[in-house]
Amino acid sequence: MAQILIAEDEPGISSFISKGLKSAGYAPTAVTTGNAALQLAIAGDFQLLLLDIGLPDMDGFEVLRRLRASGVTIPVIILTARSSVTDTVAGLEGGADDYMAKPFRFEELLARIRLRLRRETASGDTTVLSYGDLSLDLRSRHAIVAGEEVELSAREFALAETFLAHPGQVLSREQLLDQVWGYDFDPGSNVVEVYVRYLRQKIGAERIRTVRGMGYRLVDSSR
């Protein structure tokens, strides 16, 4: 039974989520402060953190920053009443794995929780993915390119991980959306193209080839 930590200071929302998670077979623990969430997440007894941005003592962005600085890789889904692109990007780039804008339907939140836990389980004992001179350490979140460490944002790392899990295969835009973002964006969104560009800038443009009309493919540029 997966242990899920809920950091939410609004009693109604916290109770709503807790009851839903219990009914779905999870073991939720709810706290109302950022400091409590930070201490419990660092202790390592939870498989996922639902993190509200507007906590009273320490906002969710700071909790997230301290978690990642401490080397804690627990999946984090941000809960926020803020719907601006700036806040969303700040959360994802700060190390969050996903976000939910309030108000939300519990069914959608549950689907995203299951996706994140499934990805963690699928990793199994595989802690390092490698292809050519590119490697990712899934636990430390380090990326090595041709012997040099490069810094990747949380979303860039997830995209690189997806490519490394399918080396040499052509991955469509839809596959990347499903694997990396876990839900559908606006059909007109160019988020995949944007992050492929970001990743190319970090690991080398030659490593990700565009297959016209089909998608993208990771190649071994060291050969």
Give the tens place of pLDDT for each residue, 169-181: 999 988 888 777 7
Sequence-distant (≥ 6) Cβ neighbours of residue 183 within 8 angstroms: 108, 111, 112, 177
Quick one: 149 and 136 in the same domain? yes
Quick one: 8 and 117 in the same domain? yes
Select, from the ranges 25-34, 65-74, 119-128, 147-156, the one with the highest average predicted confidence (pLDDT): 25-34
For residue 223, is it within any domain?
no
Quick one: 8 and 108 in the same domain? yes
Q: Which domain holds residue 13?
A: 3-123
Quick one: 59 and 114 in the same domain? yes
d(CA 71, CA 209): 32
Long-range contacts of 133-137 (CB under 8 A, 24+ apart): 133/220, 133/221, 133/222, 134/160, 134/164, 134/203, 134/207, 134/218, 135/164, 136/160, 136/161, 136/164
User: Do residues 156 and 201 lie in contact, with contact meaning Cβ atoms separated by under 8 Å?
Assistant: no
d(CA 220, CA 63): 38
Nearest C-alpha neighbor of 77 from the set 2, 136, 4, 12 = 4
Strand 76-80 and strand 98-101: the pairing is parallel
Quick one: 23 and 49 in the same domain? yes
Nearest C-alpha neighbor of 15 from the set 1, 32, 2 = 32
Angle (CA) 73 76 82, round 5°: 145
Quick one: 67 and 140 in the same domain? no
User: Do residues 67 and 41 lie in contact, with contact meaning Cβ atoms separated by under 8 Å?
Assistant: yes
Query: Mean pLDDT across the stretch 104-120?
Result: 81
Give the tens place of pLDDT for each residue, 175-216: 888 777 765 455 567 888 999 999 999 999 999 999 999 999
CA atoms within 13 A on the CB side of 186: 4
Q: Identify the residue with better confidence: 175 or 48.
A: 48
Quick one: 100 and 172 in the same domain? no
Peptide bond into 75 cis (omega under 30): no
Quick one: 155 and 195 in the same domain? yes
Quick one: 208 and 153 in the same domain? yes
Predicted confidence band at 153 (pLDDT cuts at 50, 70, 90)?
Answer: confident
Minimum mean pLDDT among 15-19, 88-92, 108-112: which range?
88-92
d(CA 23, CA 147): 48
d(CA 2, CA 117): 8
Please give the tally of structural domains in the chain: 2
Q: In this structure, what CATH number is given to the domain that contains residue 151?
A: 1.10.10.10
Cα dihedral across residues 179, 182, 187, 188: positive or negative = negative
